[in-house]
Copies of this chain bind each other. A is one copy, B any other.
Amino acid sequence: MSQASTTAVAPASSLPFEHWLASRGQRAEQALEHLLPPAAAHPARLHEAMRYAVLGGGKRVRPLLVYAAGEAGGAPAAALDRAACAVELVHAYSLVHDDLPCMDDDVLRRGRPTVHVRYGEALAMLVGDALQSLAFEVLAAAPAHGTSASATAAMVAELARAAGSTGMAGGQAIDLASVGAALGREALEDMHRRKTGALLRASVRLGGLCACGDGAAPTEACARRMQALDRYADAVGLAFQVVDDILDVEGDAATLGKTAGKDAQRNKPTYVSALGLDAARRLAGQLREQAHAAIAPLGEAARSLAGLADLIVLRKS
């Protein structure tokens, strides 16, 4: 614990949200830069491509959720770095695989050529595979950074479930099968709860678990905080996808850094196609309110979580 406490950052409640956002975004960036193998390390082309995939910008929404949720419970900063990187590495791996020709066949991501365009399909697949492994390697080292071994085992289980066949990968499999199908709202929510919601939820929960001390025997305060975080994560996870679907219709390639209107072109079911644009906008607003209500019991310590809910709903890209 001593190592972690010496790296404590300024508490969330003492910073205006925009400063907090810049500070934690930078912290996540530095941690990723540090935890990814150097580009020159053997095998160099793979490592170069892994860094290209992860360090090419990105909003770092998942790391920010980890920091905000963890700081709401007073988690050690160094352990949060590990959890923040782990969720972002899983997210980055999923983008690399999602962009492959056999999946979405995207050539542009964050305004740059996708990994398979730049490095070839075979290496892109290995980049994704290796990033997933790295996520668990990074997380498994949390006990050296202020989190108990049992909380770490709980975090590994949580992240693995969120990434796996009933979480993110499962959501992508449902997405694959649903191209051209008219999904009802319930089926659409089920798909997105897995495809994007599970990892967003895991980000919030991993932050919370970092603050729980011993994962095997959480205190009552920790259990209550985790319940509030779960409700927050459910609302924010859904809101994220609803806003994504709205932006896919409204946005243009320059703002999004990817091809706009692509889901509609592909005849993929979206919240906009299921509900209409106005109803989708109203739903996003309601989910934002739900997120705020969920964390109200946590008081001032959850101010960054509230700010992130606003950011996710009000973003323009």
A residues apposed to B, CB below 8 Å: 37, 41-43, 45-47, 50, 93-94, 97, 100, 102-103, 121-123, 125-126, 128-130, 132-137, 139-143, 148-150, 152-154, 156-157, 159-161, 163-167, 169-170, 172-174, 176-177, 190, 216
Contact = CB atoms under 8 A, between A and B. Distances in A.
Given A170-B130, A176-B126, A137 B149 contact: no
B46 A169 contact: yes
B170 A43 contact: yes
Given A125-B103, A143-B216, A130 B43 contact: no
B103 A122 contact: yes
A126 B156 contact: no
A45 B177 contact: yes
A160 B143 contact: no
Nearest to A177: B45
Q: Which of A41, A47, A152, A156 has the most CB of B within 10 A?
A: A156
Contact of A166 (B37, B126, B143, B166): B37
Contacts of A130: 163-165, 169-170
B165 A140 contact: no
B128 A129 contact: yes
Copies of this chain present:
2
26 contacts: A43-B170, A50-B165, A102-B102, A102-B122, A122-B176, A123-B173, A126-B173, A128-B129, A129-B169, A130-B163, A130-B164, A132-B132, A133-B161, A133-B169, A135-B160, A137-B157, A140-B153, A140-B156, A142-B153, A143-B150, A148-B149, A149-B150, A149-B153, A149-B216, A153-B153, A156-B156
A72 B128 CA distance: 36
Given A46-B173, A136-B136, A157-B137, A102 B128 contact: no
Contacts of A41: 166
Given A122-B103, A128-B129, A165 B47 contact: yes
B164 A133 contact: yes
Interface majority SS (helix, strand, loop, mixed), chain A: helix
Contacts of A42: 166, 170, 190
Given A130-B165, A170-B130, A125 B100 contact: yes
Given A45-B173, A129-B163, 15 more contacts: A43-B177, A46-B165, A100-B125, A125-B125, A126-B173, A129-B169, A130-B163, A130-B169, A132-B132, A134-B165, A141-B153, A143-B216, A149-B149, A149-B153, A149-B216
Contacts of A170: 42-43, 46, 130
B125 A141 contact: no
Nearest to A158: B140
A273 B46 CA distance: 26
Contacts of A156: 136-137, 139-140, 153, 156
A165 B126 CA distance: 8
A134 B139 CA distance: 16
Contacts of A169: 46, 126, 129-130, 133
